[in-house]
């Protein structure tokens, strides 16, 4: 999992409430058993005018010129600004995969669906909860200033605006630790691999029959 320390990026505004996970990554793309390749289908039904299916070449499709991520001024955006209850709906982990693989590192919203919120941290995304008044002000600033960027400093738990003003945010210490170290659940477990190997060796010495498998 990619580490998150300090990230500066272009902000894309998605002025919608209750964006569900089927909008983030539609159900037909869940057929894939791989953990990669979902970025091109992020918000597929909104980004394209034709119906998408797994394996389609994005270059052959018809983009929706009115969708925010297709607008040139937001090309390369890595911070998503959105409204309340982002990530509601089913618990599919493909949603944070698609956001991450598109290039987003942080999401700013007044609230998130619980399961989606947890899945973000497990996949290297930083979901930040801010007051609705702050979110609304950021929407105004993004609209007023093309190329609007923010710097997200996880260590200091601060969002730095272009003029130097800072917005503080909260994050649980354990989640912060995992993001800073780039540890997903497997990565956390592998930090204990020496102890795991020692335990397995000790167990095998005490119970050598465990090394054999039963036939039939």
User: What is the model's pTM?
Assistant: 0.88
pLDDT in tens, 43-69: 999 999 999 999 899 999 999 999 999
SS3 state of residue 7: strand
Kindly indicate the confidence band of residue 32, based on its pLDDT and cuts at 50, 70 and 90: confident
Residue 198 pLDDT level (bands cut at 50, 70, 90) = confident
Dihedral, CA of residue 42, residue 186, residue 209 and residue 204, to nearest 10: 170
CATH number of the 6-183 domain = 3.20.19.10
With beta carbons less than 8 A apart as the criterion, state whether 156 and 126 touch: no
| CA–CA gap between residue 104 and residue 38 (Å, rounded) | 13
For the chain, what is the largest distance between any 2 Cα atoms, rounded to a whole number of angstroms? Answer: 71
Domain boundaries, the chain: 6-183
Q: What is the pLDDT of residue 76?
A: 96
Q: What is the pLDDT of residues 79-89, one digit of tens each?
A: 999 999 999 99
What pLDDT is stored for residue 34 in this prediction? 79
pLDDT at 194 over 90: no
Instruction: Name the average pLDDT for the chain.
Output: 92
107-119 confidence digits (pLDDT tens)? 999 999 999 999 9
Asked whether residue 216 carries a pLDDT value surpassing 50, the answer given is no
């Amino acid at each position: 999992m990619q580490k998150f320390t300090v990230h500066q990026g272009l902000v894309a505004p998605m002025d919608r409430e209750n964006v569900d996970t089927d909008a983030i990554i539609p159900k037909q793309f869940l057929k894939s058993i791989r953990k990669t390749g979902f970025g091109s289908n992020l918000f597929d039904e909104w980004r394209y005018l034709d119906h998408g299916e797994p394996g389609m070449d994005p270059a052959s499709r018809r983009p929706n010129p009115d969708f925010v991520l297709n607008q040139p001024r937001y090309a390369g955006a890595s911070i998503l600004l959105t409204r309340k209850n982002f990530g509601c709906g089913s618990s599919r982990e493909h949603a944070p995969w698609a956001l991450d693989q598109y290039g987003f590192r942080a999401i700013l919203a007044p609230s998130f669906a619980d399961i989606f919120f947890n899945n973000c941290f497990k996949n290297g995304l930083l979901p930040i909860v801010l007051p609705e008044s702050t979110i609304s002000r950021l929407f105004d600033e993004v609209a007023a200033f093309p190329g609007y960027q923010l710097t997200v400093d996880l260590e200091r738990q601060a969002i730095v605006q272009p003029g130097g003003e800072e917005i503080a945010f909260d994050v649980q210490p354990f989640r912060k630790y995992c993001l800073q170290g780039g540890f997903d659940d497997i990565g956390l477990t592998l930090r204990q691999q020496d102890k795991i190997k020692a335990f397995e060796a000790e167990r095998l010495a005490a119970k050598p029959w465990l090394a054999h498998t039963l036939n039939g």
